[in-house]
Amino acid sequence: MRRLEARWSDVTSRVAVSKESVKVSNVVAHFIAELDSLLNTIDIYDTWASSDAINVAKDFVQLSQQLDQCRVCLTHSVTFSIYVTADMRAATCKHSLLSVDVDVCV
């Protein structure tokens, strides 16, 4: 009977470790997806800013349109940075709640 209890304890311990591992994997997968999204967004803004920085409009209407685009991009980037900051805080919180060290190299 003791052997059975010991084996059952071992099984439940391994299941707990597996569940913890799945939780960590989900947090890491979400973090990597968010990081990819952030890097993609940064590339888009960088490409846009680089192309428009070279081609500044000379006519008032076009310049006004470029300024409007700048405002829209600035608003989106600020909103996106707030979202990413909140998401990273949530991921950090989840990670600390899991109390497992995770090394991620991307």
Considering the entire predicted model, what is its pTM? 0.55
Helices assigned H by DSSP within 1-106: 2-54, 60-98
What's the CA gap between 85 and 71, in Å, rounded? 21
Per-residue pLDDT of the chain (106 residues; tens, 9 = 90+): 888 889 999 999 999 999 988 988 888 888 888 888 888 888 887 887 777 566 777 888 888 888 888 888 778 777 777 777 777 777 666 655 444 444 443 3
Cα angle 30-38-36, degrees, rounded to a multiple of 5: 50
Per-residue tokens: 89: 């805080």
**pLDDT recorded at residue 100:** 44
